[in-house]
Homo-oligomer: A and B are copies of this chain.
Amino acid sequence: MSVSKNPDACPVSILMSLLSGPWTMYILWVLCNSGPTRFGALKHLVEGISTKVLTERLRMLEAAEIIYRQYEPTVPPQVTYGLTKRGQELIEILHQLNALAERWYGSQQREHSNSNI
- Residue numbers of A with Cβ under 8 A of B are 1-6, 8-16, 19-26, 29, 47-48, 65, 86, 89-90, 93-94, 96-98, 100-102, 104-105, 107, 110-112, 116-117
Given known contacts A2-B22, A5-B22, A15-B98, what 6 new A-B pairs fall within 8 Å (CB)?
A3-B20, A6-B47, A10-B110, A12-B25, A12-B117, A16-B19
Residues of B within 8 A of A93 (CB): 93, 96-97, 100
Q: Of B4, B89, B105, which contacts A14 at CB under 8 A?
A: B105
Q: Of B4, B11, B22, B24, which contacts A102 at CB under 8 A?
A: B11
* A interface secondary structure, majority: helix
Q: Of B1, B4, B86, B96, which contacts A96 at CB under 8 A?
A: B96
Q: Of B6, B26, B86, which contacts A4 at CB under 8 A?
A: B26
Q: When the two chains form their complex, are residues A110 and B8 in contact, meaning their CB atoms are under 8 A apart?
A: yes
